[in-house]
Amino acid sequence: MNLKKITLLLLALAFPIYSFAQFKLSGKIKDYKGSEKLQLNIPLVYGFYEENSIKIPVKNDGSFNIELPLKETKFASLILSNYKYDLLLHPHKNLSITLNQTAQVLSLIHI
């Protein structure tokens, strides 16, 4: 194989890894009663706009899990009821968060 073919092969293999970068957000809301809305707002540039919000489904036991396509590091707001938390999301990383009903952060694990 010549150098040109090797270079093209390496580029072809690297492209899917970058283009399908994902971020996984998971966690649990302790003592979840089923009425609270959980959403993640990822602004295009800066600021809060409702159309940038993603509703995160929460199971009856209060657990949630969502994978998001993410090509670059971005700021986001996690919103539970009337409480907002600012997060920094990184591609190929995971974040696990535990909240309680009054939206206090009980644990935060970045993997």
Q: Are 88 and 77 in contact (CB under 8 A)?
A: no
pLDDT grade for 49, boundaries at 50, 70 and 90: confident
* Ordered structural domains, the chain, with CATH: 3-110 (2.60.40)
| Weakest mean pLDDT among 4-8, 31-35, 76-80, 83-87 | 4-8
Is residue 9's pLDDT more than 70? no
Distance CA 31, CA 49 (A): 29
Distance CA 19, CA 30 (A): 35
Distance CA 92, CA 111 (A): 9
CA–CA distances in Å: residue 100 to residues 8, 23, 25, 31, 59: 51, 23, 17, 7, 15
pLDDT value, residue 57: 93
Is residue 99's pLDDT more than 70? yes
Give alpha helix (H) positions in the chain. Answer: 3-19
